[in-house]
């Protein structure tokens, strides 16, 4: 069982926590369990600050997002803020604008990200999970997009990610009905990548995160960049970026270290250059 010794750094008055879990892994926790970690605008700001801190920390190679309390990852946007800040189209646009920078930060994050989901992962919470590189979920987790029950439209970016994960028909089923699916169904349709027994979720997630963190950072980055380019429309695809990141690997000290460690039958010590 991995241990996390460091006390968390807090953002958004403690509703976002950031921890360095050792071995190159950072953890960001949505921490408002009384509201099932519903995302307020203040929490979006805090999430952005935590993401920047871990992005700029050279010791961190992988970031895990998770929810406190065991009952939810994130239960969506905080509906109690809607009456004041999301009551019509103009207000809704301004509201979305206030989290746009943080969503873009997560979408283009330079390090691998993993959503570690237990309990409810709904609406805007699912959008956050879909912005990460992969999703691991507890066997008792539940997923859904209740937008049609509330009368709101789920935005383009969220739907683009959903359609690319589950395909258009499953996306329609989720959106038209607003019904929740359990972890087994989420795994079957490709919404999550691993279903893990509840009490093993965090240790299993950290083990994979640490495996990634122990690999050559430039090679992991090349995979991340190239897969992101594959997902773009061909007209917008940056083949030069793919070449640059591939060249950076092949010219790196780490590639030399990887080759030598293999020949010398030892574990490589990668430096990310
Ligand atoms: N925004 C604001 N408050 C929320 C919330 C949200 N998205 N989700 C949960 N809460 C609050 C509830 O209002 C309740 O507050 P209260 O204790 O003051 O009454 C508290 O969190 C616990 O929720 P509750 O419904 O009692 O817990 P539950 O375990 O029975 O159900 C959910 C949890 C997440 C299934 C349910 O709360 C729910 O459907 N939430 C709304 C989800 C949603 O529509 N998300 C999309 C928003 S765009």
What tens digit of pLDDT does each residue of 111-168 get?
999 999 999 999 999 999 999 999 999 999 999 999 999 999 999 999 999 999 999 9
Structure confidence at residue 94 (pLDDT): 85
* Tokens 């499953």, residue located: 170
Structure confidence at residue 1 (pLDDT): 42
With a pLDDT cut of 70, the percent of the chain lying above it is: 98
Residue 150 CA: which ligand 1 atom is closest?
44
Average per-residue pLDDT for the chain: 95
Measured CA to CA in angstroms, residue 95 lies from 26, 48, 73, 80, 103 at distances of: 28, 16, 21, 13, 13
Structure confidence at residue 83 (pLDDT): 86
Structure confidence at residue 251 (pLDDT): 95
What tens digit of pLDDT does each residue of 225-255 get?
999 999 999 999 999 999 999 999 999 999 9
- For ligand 1, pick from 31, 33, 34, 38 the residue to mutate: most ligand atoms within 8 Å of CB: 38
Atom 41, ligand 1: which residue's CA is nearest?
75
What tens digit of pLDDT does each residue of 46-87 get?
999 999 999 999 999 999 999 999 999 999 999 998 888 888
Which two tokens mark 156?
A: 């383009």
Atom 43, ligand 1: which residue's CA is nearest?
76
For residues 21 and 4, the answer to whether their CB atoms sit within 8 Å is yes
Confidence of residue 221 (pLDDT cuts 50, 70, 90): very high
Structure confidence at residue 86 (pLDDT): 85
For residues 32 and 42, the answer to whether their CB atoms sit within 8 Å is no
pTM of the model: 0.95
CA of 39 to the centre of ligand 1 (A): 11
CA atoms within 13 A on the CB side of 258: 17
Structure confidence at residue 4 (pLDDT): 61
In this structure, the strands spanning 142-144 and 181-182 are antiparallel
CA of 52 to the centre of ligand 1 (A): 29
CA–CA separation, 75 vs 72, rounded Å?
6
């Amino acid at each position: 069982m991995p241990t996390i010794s460091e006390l968390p750094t807090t953002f958004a008055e403690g509703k976002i926590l950031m921890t360095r879990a050792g071995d190159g892994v950072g953890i960001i926790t949505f921490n408002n369990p009384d509201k099932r970690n519903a995302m307020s605008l203040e929490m979006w700001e805090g999430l952005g600050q935590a993401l920047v801190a871990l992005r700029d920390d050279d010791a961190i190679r992988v970031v895990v997002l998770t929810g406190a309390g065991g009952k939810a990852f994130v239960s969506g946007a905080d509906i109690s803020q809607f009456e004041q800040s999301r009551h019509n189209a103009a207000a809704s646009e301004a509201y979305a604008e206030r989290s746009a920078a943080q969503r873009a930060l997560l979408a283009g994050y330079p390090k691998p990200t993993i959503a570690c989901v237990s309990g409810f992962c709904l609406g805007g919470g699912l959008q956050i999970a879909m912005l990460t590189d992969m999703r691991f979920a507890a066997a008792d987790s539940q997923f859904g997009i209740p937008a049609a029950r509330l009368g709101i439209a789920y935005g383009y970016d969220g739907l683009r990610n959903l359609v690319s994960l589950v395909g258009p028909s499953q996306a329609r089923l989720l959106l038209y009905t607003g019904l929740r699916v359990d972890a087994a169904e989420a795994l079957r349709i490709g919404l999550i990548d691993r279903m893990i027994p509840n009490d093993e979720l965090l240790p299993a997630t950290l083990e994979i995160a640490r495996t990634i963190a122990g690999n050559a950072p430039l090679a992991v980055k090349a995979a991340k960049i190239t897969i992101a380019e594959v997902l773009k429309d061909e007209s917008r695809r940056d083949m030069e970026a793919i070449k640059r990141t591939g060249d950076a690997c092949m010219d790196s000290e780490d590639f030399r270290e990887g080759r030598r460690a293999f020949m010398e039958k030892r574990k490589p010590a990668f430096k990310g250059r």
